[in-house]
Amino acid sequence: MKWYDTLEKELRDHIQYHITESSKYKKEIRQAKNAGNAQLWLVIGNLSKQILLLHEKVDTLEKKLTPKKTTKRKVQKKTKSSRKKKDNLTKSLEKF
């Protein structure tokens, strides 16, 4: 019986996935003085890469979902423009 057979299935599935992924580097693992440590470092590297990619995706989503900040200049221009429109409308209504 393998030691991880006693673990819950979900955890075993994750471990098996990482074993499979790290086995893509058999040549590098064989060259290491300690194959077990090499395999663990490969798993850590893969997990780190996955975390980095997730951070990048979250950052992209946050940028898309965060409303753009308007500068004071833009607000002032909009305010002046709004005032002019109101003044023009008021004048045109007075003429009417």
Q: pLDDT tens across 39-95, in order? A: 999 999 999 999 999 999 999 999 888 877 656 666 566 666 777 777 776 766 666
Helix ranges, the chain (H): 9-22, 26-31, 35-65, 72-95
Is 18:43 a contact under the CB 8 Å cutoff? yes
Task: Tell whether the model's pLDDT for residue 96 goes beyond 60.
Answer: no
Is 29:38 a contact under the CB 8 Å cutoff? yes
Is 21:50 a contact under the CB 8 Å cutoff? no
Residue-level pLDDT at 46: 93
Residue at token pair 């009417």: 96
Find, among 79, 92, 19, the residue nearest to 11 by Cα.
19
Is the overall model pTM greater than 0.75, yes or no? no
